[in-house]
Chain A
């Protein structure tokens, strides 16, 4: 194989690189670029997630405010005796009934065992 001097070698290297294009030297860089792009995408997704999470949090608070407001409006529109009846009925529906149901289930379980 004929000897190639330094000038010729550099020229040949340049010629080959021009032929190959950017890929010859940029495979590692492409990998790095890809990693950077993933990190950027991940960060952007996290920022969007933070906002989504806050929306969920605010939705809970809004639900809480709405249901309390509804209750207050119903209360305000009622006469005092009607309000008492409403509260009693509500307490029965949301508190007493589930407990009685739980008790019945417990008794049934006990009897069945």
Chain B
């Protein structure tokens, strides 16, 4: 394996001296790897006019220590802030890749070797990021962040990448480095601009950096930096402008998370395709014909889109179902009769064939829309050409999460199944629009032409896995699948009801997609397979490590 020449860039402004020493030592330790040493490591520190005399002394000693890491210190004549200092550092870099490290962060031993190995496997990559954890004030590491593979839509909501970031210097130069005026959100802005020219980024699912928690740092408490959220809104807005996406970016009640509201292009037509046999049920103590309430909940959604309801009704369904639908939806209703044995996929396919809309919203009849504007939210995301399908948030009747995107990490399930709706989820994943491996057909929207081009749903899956198979097909065709928390429906599916799954269907889905089915790029290998709750593997949860103390006692931290 060969390693490229790395330049670690570090802007320095009055860190704790011990923290700076530890940071420098961790960079020196990288050359223990022969390949990294052979490629060469340079460390550029830019002193942004630190006021502490001991910092100047540490920098002077680091510059002249004569170690294997070539170290240069740039001394600014006036304090210019993190962006100016970081740009000076990038300008002074000579390596093929720049490695962004804060003045109090600690690189894990072998971090650059792991990055070099990733680049060796994928030499075309311009940007690499890794997992990281936080270093507590007492020096112990905790709260590991095991990230998904590159997720552009998520990056548009929050900086889920943060550290460690390694980028090809020529690309950083090409985009002009850090943007002046983005102090506090400069990393997020840089990543968004890098994504415009170099996506997808490469992800190394290993903790390669300990991000120091200091009382004044963003890692300690994002709300410590109120200017950061405004900078973040500006960064995301500018990025969306450059991408030709018309949207309004707003703050949320979660620190570091913004919401983008897409402005719809034109007045799209949406066909809501609902297969039904007129099932009756009892919801919150009252009887209902499910599809009537499902349709009624969406009738007010015509502000921004034209709606059509394509209802695929089984032969023999009570006439009251049809009559009620006509009374509710009037001219917006199109009824498709179905006289075949039950096959969900076939019913959906026939509904979509009969649909006249530019977009189709596949919807189960045992649903009820919650958030006004949900259909427009789905359409807004689906108007991106590379988006093949958009899933919605589904809640059980008790408000717990039924669907927050599919998860295929060792098993086929829904992410965060059963979690409270009010929970932000691990690392805010329940609060942000993001790519996911699949979406349930209980509520999913896509362009009709995409659905037809892909051949529709596979009728070999009459009851189960039809949406899994379709999701895999969508992604295999190169489209992204998104999930949004801002479009939501109740799904009155029993929590305790387990679908009888025909083993033949399981065998078929596994035969069709092989072992690749269970590799979910939006999960992480450090998480336990077969679970949907982001439980880390043993000893990777950030719990303080067991250790032998000098006095012979043993400690659990």
Contacts and interface: CB of A to CB of B under 8 A. Distances in A.
A68 interface: yes
B400 interface: yes
B143 to A, nearest CB: 12
Interface residues of B, number: 33
A45 interface: yes
B417 to A, nearest CB: 8
A26 interface: no
Given A42-B284, A68-B538, A68-B543, A60 B533 contact: yes
A56 interface: yes
Contacts of B180: none
Given A37-B285, A45-B397, A60-B535, A76 B546 contact: yes
Interface string B419-453: 11111000000000000000000000000000000
B174 interface: no
B515 A105 contact: yes
A53 B541 contact: no
B399 A68 contact: no
B246 interface: no
Interface string A25-42: 000000000100111011
Nearest to A103: B121
Contact of A38 (B285, B399, B556): B285
A53 B546 contact: no
A50 B535 contact: no
A50 B543 CA distance: 27
- What is the interface of chain A mostly: helix, strand, loop, or mixed? helix
B420 A50 contact: yes
A71 B397 contact: no
B554 interface: yes
A54 interface: yes
Interface in A56-71: 56-57, 59-60, 63-65, 67-68, 70-71
Interface in B263-297: 283-286
B539 to A, nearest CB: 5
Interface centre among A53, A80, A102 (most CB of B within 10 A): A53
Contacts of A75: 546
Contacts of B284: 38-39, 41-42, 45
A42 to B, nearest CB: 4
B318 interface: no
Interface centre among A37, A39, A59, A72 (most CB of B within 10 A): A72
5 contacts: A45-B399, A46-B399, A50-B399, A56-B420, A99-B525
Closest CB pairs A-B (n = 6): A53-B420, A49-B398, A41-B284, A49-B399, A41-B285, A46-B399
Given A49-B399, A102-B519, 18 more contacts: A39-B284, A42-B397, A45-B284, A46-B398, A49-B396, A53-B399, A53-B418, A53-B422, A53-B423, A56-B400, A59-B533, A64-B541, A64-B543, A68-B538, A70-B538, A72-B543, A75-B546, A76-B554
